[in-house]
Amino acid sequence: MREPTSPIAWANFLVTVWGDRFPVDVRTIALEYSKRFPDPIRDVKAAPVGQAFEGALFPLPKSGEWAILYNPEVDVLGRINFTLGHELGHYLNHRHLRAMGFQCSAQAVLGFDADAAARRLEKEADEFASYLLMPITDYRAQIADQIMTLDLLGHCADRYRVSFTAAALKWIQFTEERAVLIYARDGNVLWGRRSDAAKKSGVFFETGMELPGGSLAALGPAAQPGPVGVELGPGVWRRFEPVREMTIFADRYDATISLLILPRKPVFNTGFGEEAVADVLNRFVGRGLSF
């Protein structure tokens, strides 16, 4: 049989082989499927190394085999599962590119590696893990016609044994809603992802910008009334548009993860004139810092 030639193709192939069993048992897949290769994965085990890395794929010098290591100090079980998928993605797609293996920090996995080639490999490993653990067909079935809430997102995170962030990123990938996921730390936006519908309607936010003062992320967890989040009027996140904001607060990291749901029909102006529209474009596009 001809082997898959891309991270997503590999993930889809393994989903077909193992069937619809969730959460996906990455450890078993890694150990069993890799036996077909001359350099299989011999072990998948915890490696307590503080905060040095979240996961690693290491060659075993004497045998020519491989080991997947994960950091057991990560306090979110779903992050460990995603890390295992990430490292299996490196094994299937990249092990011939780096004889010394891969050591993946949280920063690298989030795409903050300074090296463009390294960022590409990390992105591909993330794509593999995402498609392996959260097949879009099954994810769509979980959502059906329901509106996205923190409870629904939590259901998906539990089903696939991934973090809320990974589950939200996957939903952003296929939803028809105009939606944005924003990750901030210490009150500043570090990165974000937009749905295709949000991109097409020209939604931009600046990386490095301060969280808007009236946003749920800035106000804190006491301001969130429940799993549906809070409806914010125009002028908070978007000049002319209301936004429904749901935010996850991670006290340990002083971080917030905000899921913004915008109206399906874009609102570009509410009678302020062309000059105001131009001001919005300058504010969100002119500096060239967008996501």
What are the residue boundaries of the structural domains of the chain, listed by start?
7-133, 178-284
Contact 171, 159 (CB under 8 A): no
Topology of domain 7-133, CATH: Arc Repressor Mutant, subunit A (1.10.10)
Residue length of the chain: 291
Contact 125, 94 (CB under 8 A): yes
Give the sign of the dihedral formed by CA 196, CA 201, CA 203, CA 204: positive
Contact 197, 265 (CB under 8 A): no
pTM over 0.75: yes
Read off the tokens for 165: 């962030």
Q: What is the mean pLDDT of residues 262-280?
A: 61
Q: What is the pLDDT of residue 250?
A: 79
Which range has the worst mean pLDDT, 54-58, 209-213, 279-283?
Answer: 279-283
- Of 217, 213, 177, 211, the C-alpha closest to 194 is 177
Strand duo 255-261 + 179-185: pairing = antiparallel
Confidence of residue 79 (pLDDT cuts 50, 70, 90): confident
Q: What is the mean pLDDT of residues 203-219?
A: 93
Contact 113, 103 (CB under 8 A): no
- Of 53, 7, 45, the C-alpha closest to 27 is 45
What Å distances lie between residue 140 and 134, 146, 232, 263, CA to CA?
A: 10, 10, 27, 20
| Helix segments in 95-163, DSSP class H | 106-109, 116-133, 136-143, 150-160
